[in-house]
Structure 1
Amino acid sequence: MIMRVAVCQLNSQDDKEKNVTEALELVDRASREQLDLIALPEYLDFQGPREQALAVAEGENGETLQRFQAKARELGVAILMGSVRVQGASEGKVLNRSILIDKSGDVVAHYDKTHLYDVDLPGRVTYKESDTIEPGRDIVVASLEGRKVGMSICYDVRFPELYRLLALEGAQVLFVPAAFALYTGRDHWEVLLRARAIENQCFVVAPGQIGPYPPSGACNGRSMIIDPWGNVMAQAPDRVGYVVAELEFDLLDKVRAEMPSLQNRRADVYALAKAMKDSDK
């Protein structure tokens, strides 16, 4: 089986309506490629000042979701809404939610970002995503086109434990929609994505934001699709647009058969080590 996938690269700004309209237009353009799935980046709805970002959050079944559901039905293609802000339970905070829609327009699954980017480098940068984002707690694997897909968002990619759990739950494709910072992205983005692909023997689909946004942010771009051997199959240039690759699952089966690292895990040793550590507490 082959799944034909596009990763879309956006430069979302502080105008939600313009951002959503441009994302939908890019989906229209990409759909001419006879695709099974179109993947969009994190924060496709808004990138800008935090006080405004909180205000754009919608409810569970908000207008933005409905527009993408209608587009999926219209085009007959599955869409990964990389992430949008959804109203949460905590006062003054929202959920950073990735939503997977099938070609019939139905929501297959959603995932709320688990790992939040909190950093304080005196004299350089202070950024606390947890000031405005309520973290998720669920590990999400869904079925799409007969294949298992694992969901994550951006900063999650630095935490290999999450991806191993996704793989153990049967994921064959790992989604990593992102608004990865330019400063770290130029050195870490591709390395981390390829590592997650190699160690879990999965395809990685990673659409990203590109370029500057207000008041002073900048995103790495370099959206890419990686195969289970760690090869970059497609990478977007440094501009808004999309790239396409075909996920050949026979290759995934071949990689897992010839390099059986998932089968060679020593879960017994890991469990024993944890039990010994817990007994020392």
Structure 2
Amino acid sequence: MASRFKLALIQICTQRYREHNLKKAEQMIREAARNGASVVVLPEYFTCWMDPKYFIEYKELPDGPTSTMLSRVAKETNIHLFGGSFPEEIPNSDKLYNTCHIYGPTGELTQRFRKLHLFDVDLGPGMSIRESELNVAGDKLTVVNVAGCKTGFGICIDLRYPEIARLYGNMGCQMLTYMGGFSMKTGPSHLEILQRVRAVDNQVFVANVGPATNTEAPYVTYGHSGVADPWGNMIAKTGSDEDIVYADIGQYNCFLVLYLDHPCFCC
């Protein structure tokens, strides 16, 4: 990595109304920047509750209120801003994308990532989720270079696919950033394990940020945002409440060297 930087994960407690969430996100972004973070990440669907009803109510085009706020704040705070995700309207369609916009320190939109895999699953009574009924999957990987650190992106269930992480690793990424609102059913069992495995397998930092736990929401998220280093250690993490997680990226210079393109037999 070319240089060291401070990463901040914004674990916002998403509320019913978008206006409230945008205002709260801006406050927390500014706090992270004041505390020295040069790269700030928001969680999946930070603009609205995770439910098709609210996705439809708060869908927006790429130049909507969410993008306008993120661009302005990135410029005013001089940071790289990975803008969580919002329900992106597809013109002339009743379907949506789950979209992340990535902004540079001058407020320019540098990249866009759309969630690649849709979450169709039965987790028990009252927990049948069919994202494919409303959403369309993205079709490309997204890489940005921040402070000499190539970073790849995923959203939520994308973390479960080792092939994505391997592709990013082969593209030279040193950090993977996921914005994932894991459920109270899957989060306690899988979230940290998945982060640590992706980190060790590909010798990268792996960050995941989700919304804080809000029991009033129709879909209750687990929170527990954190960062795993290439050795598989969780170097920063939090619990279920609203919080900002900070991690220094680039200070770990001794990696396990694996030749991932060849068979490997390790002890």
* TM-score, normalised by the number of residues in structure 2: 0.92
The answer to whether structure 1 residue 178 and structure 2 residue 180 are counterparts is yes
2:194 equivalent in structure 1: 192
Q: Aligned partners of 2:123 and 2:11: how far apart in 1?
A: 29
Calculate percent identity across the aligned residue pairs: 27
Output the amino acid matched with 1:265: D
Contact map agreement 2:80 2:103 (CA 8 A) in 1: yes
Equivalents in 2 of 1:172, 1:156: separation in Å?
Answer: 17
2:262 corresponding residue in structure 1: 266
1:127 alignment counterpart: 129
**1:89–1:120 distance in 2 versus 1, CA, 3 Å:** farther
State the number of aligned residues: 261
Note if contact 1:100-1:109 (Cα within 8 Å) is conserved in structure 2. yes
**Runs of 4+ residues deviating >6 angstroms:** none
SS at match of 1:212: coil
Structure 1: runs of 5 or more not aligned:
268-281
C-alpha deviation, 1:106, in angstroms: 1.1
- 2:100 corresponding residue in structure 1: 98
Task: Give the superposition deviation at 1:197.
Answer: 0.7
Match among 140, 146, 163 for residue 144 of structure 1: 146
Query: How far 1:124 moved relative to its partner?
Result: 5.0
> For residues 125 and 67 of structure 1, what CA distance do their matches in structure 2 show?
33
Give yes or no for contact 1:13–1:48 (8 Å, CA) kept in 2. Answer: no
- Structure 2: which 5+ runs fail to align? none
Deviation (angstroms), 1:145: 2.2
Which of the pair has more CA radius of gyration?
Answer: 1
* 2:167 aligned residue: 165
Provide the C-alpha distance between the structure 2 equivalents of 1:33 and 1:87, rounded to a whole number of angstroms: 34
> Does the Cα contact within 8 Å between 1:54 and 1:92 map onto a contact in 2?
no
Superposition deviation, residue 146 in structure 1: 2.3
Contact kept in structure 2, 1:48 and 1:214, CA below 8 Å: no
- In structure 2, give the amino acid aligned to 1:174: L
Distance 1:148 1:48, change over 3 A: closer
Q: Which residue of 1 aligns with 2:86?
A: 84
How far apart in 1 are the matches of 2:192 and 2:51? 28
**Deviation (angstroms), 1:231:** 0.7
Counterparts in 2 of 1:201 and 1:217: CA distance versus 1, 3 Å: same
Q: Which residue of 1 aligns with 2:66?
A: 64
CA distance in 1, matches of 2:89, 2:219: 24
| 8 A contact 2:26–2:73 mirrored in 1 | yes
Residues 9-44 of structure 1, C-alpha deviation per residue, up to 9 Å, x if partnerless? 012122111111111111111111111101110001
* Alignment partners' CA distance in 2, 1:206 and 1:121: 21
Give the match for residue 270 of structure 1: none
Is the contact between residue 97 and residue 111 of structure 1 (CA under 8 Å) also seen in structure 2? yes
1 CA distance for matches of 2:35 and 2:83? 19
Distance 1:154 1:49 in 2: 15
Amino acid at match of 2:94: G
TM-score by length of 1: 0.88
Q: Hey, what does 1:228 align to over in structure 2?
A: 230
Q: Structure 1 residues 91 and 35, CA, compared in 2 at 3 Å: closer, same or farther?
A: same
Q: CA RMSD in A?
A: 1.7
Higher helix share: 1
Cα deviation, residue 95, structure 1: 0.6
